[in-house]
Chain A
């Protein structure tokens, strides 16, 4: 079945540090890939997405590139801020049409001033 594997956290960085959160997936066909962010006490917010190989999703300084050859969708940001502290979830939608999302276990990011 489909699965998403994220790097285990928690991750603690100093402000303005470079961020990478690794995500790899297993799925048949050509899934759409997503990064969601969850702030304390809140639901999930879509951060960025990519729907086909080599697509780059970007938003708020975060980027991730859909790499089919390595089945990866790593999240990166060049300079993190304290306000980026949250839990980040990688997810896939195999049918690519807002059907069932399969999530990774999440990575807790804490950014220190």
Chain B
């Protein structure tokens, strides 16, 4: 059983560019959450998708947007990249419908903005 997978592993962009990160949830999971982890910090919640809709959102600007597909996979898009967007982006999946309260994390995508 594959766990949560993310792609790409690493990414280098320049300021002002746009980036798309991808996540496939653990088998049987219907919900995907995205977190940003700056170096030396704990992860910060960006947003959560369930039934192809954004259900919750953290304190992140509109430059951060996402999408969930019918197969439950998800994308995180960041527009107009800033140097401060450099971080490890983590995807987590869970099973809302089953009422379980555990999130499983992927290995992350390391984004560097130059």
Q: B48 interface residue, CB < 8 Å from A?
A: yes
Asked whether B101 lies within 8 Å of A42 as measured between CB atoms, the reply is no
Q: Which of A4-61 contact B (CB under 8 A)?
A: 4, 32, 36, 42-46, 49, 51
The 8 Å CB contact of B41, one of A51, A98, A106, is A106
Contacting pair B42 A103 (CB below 8 A): yes
Q: Is the CB of B103 within 8 A of A43?
A: no
Whether B104 contacts A99 by the Cβ 8 Å rule is: no
Is B107's CB under 8 angstroms from A101's CB? no
Q: Is the interface of B mostly helix, strand, loop or mixed?
A: loop
Q: Which residues of A contact B96 (CB under 8 A)?
A: 97-98
Chain B's interface size range is: 20 to 34
Binding site secondary structure of chain A = strand
Interface size class of A (residues with CB under 8 A): 20 to 34
Q: How near does chain B come to A52, taking the closest CB pair, in angstroms? A: 11
When distances are taken between beta carbons in the complex, the residues of chain A under 8 Å from B107 are 42-43
Q: How far is the CB of A28 from chain B (nearest CB, A)?
A: 16
